[in-house]
Structure 1
Amino acid sequence: MRTVHPEHLPPPSVPLSHGVRAGDLLFVSGQVATAADGSVFIGDFAAEVNSTIDNVEAVLRAGGASLADVVKVNAYLANATLFAPFNELYARRIGDVPPARTTVVVDFGHPDVRVEIEAVAYLGDRD
């Protein structure tokens, strides 16, 4: 088992790793949109979703994977009205063969976070 930390992402401010490689699996911790300085991104929802997915992709790359290797996604939204716009933005980025996904509405306890995404990638046989 080894931890994965993309060079350009600041270290997490809480006790977790950006990602963990365990055998043929890469687990990506929940990512939120961040500004260049590591602070929470504040802006329009499309930019927030894209920044969040960019951060997921950065962890995947650092662990030797890509979005094409993702087999499971858990997505968290701040409220149910974001479900339709999230689906549209997510579909543009995730590709033609979407992984299994669960999406739930949660209270982040942070007024500027509206989406968080975690993922599991399979790095075994590449068929």
Structure 2
Amino acid sequence: MSKQIVFTEKAPAAIGPYSQAVKVTIASPASMLFVSGQIALDAAATGNIQAETQQVMENIGEILKAAGLNYSNIVKASIFVKDMNNFAAINEVYGRFFLSEPPARETVEVARLPKDVNVEISVIAI
């Protein structure tokens, strides 16, 4: 097994001891990509759950691209929300990125997220 740290300047840099993503090669050429939780750091998106979700998904897309992958490679997603009342709005935006065969997923309401954003999403891609 080999491990490669994936970084792109087109998504927010880590604000703590974690990587944007880690690509693990199991048996050539198979590999797995573990993308750290992404948030919207753009002030214009903060406060509008749909804009925040759009920015988060675009961040994930840039990280996938940096690893040579795309949204169709995602097999698992984890969504953390500050207010479960935003579930439908998040789903509406999130769903645009998975028109067929969406990945497995869980959505969890949490008390607080980094930088006081409203949504954070992490994914695993193969």
* Counterpart for residue 33 of structure 1: 40
Partner of residue 73 from structure 1, selected from 66, 72, 77: 77
Are 1:84 and 2:84 matched, yes or no? no
Q: Percent identity?
A: 34
Q: Deviation digits for residues 15-41 of structure 1, max 9, x if unmatched?
A: 110000011100000000122xxx794
Count of matched residue pairs: 119
Where structure 2 has 5 or more consecutive residues not aligned to the other structure, the ranges are: 26-30
1:5-60: CA deviation from partner (whole Å, max 9, x where unpaired): 1123343121110000011100000000122xxx7942421111100000111111
Name the amino acid aligned to 1:33: A
Structure 1 residue runs without a partner (length 5+): 123-127
Partner residue of 1:18?
Answer: 20
Do the aligned partners of 1:68 and 1:95 also contact (CA within 8 Å) in 2? no
Q: Is the 8 A contact 2:35 2:123 kept in 1?
A: yes
| TM value normalised by structure 2 | 0.85
User: What is the aligned partner in structure 2 of residue 46 from structure 1?
Assistant: 50
Residues 1:117 and 1:10: Cα distance change in structure 2 (over 3 Å): closer
CA change 1:72–1:90 in 2 (3 A) is: same
Contact 1:40 1:112 in 2 (8 A): no
Shift of 1:108: 2.0
Instruction: Give secondary structure in 2 for the equivalent of 1:12.
Output: coil
Name the residue aligned to 1:125.
none
Q: What's the counterpart of residue 28 of structure 2? A: none
C-alpha distance in 2, partners of 1:17/1:111?
17
> Contact 1:78 / 1:108 at 8 angstroms: preserved in 2?
yes
Q: How far apart are the structure 2 equivalents of 1:99 and 1:10?
A: 23
Normalising by structure 1, report the TM-score: 0.85
Determine if the alignment matches structure 1 residue 9 to structure 2 residue 11.
yes
- SS at 1:28's partner residue? strand
Counterpart for residue 121 of structure 1: 125
Q: Are the aligned partners of 2:6 and 2:21 in contact in 1 as well (CA < 8 Å)?
A: yes
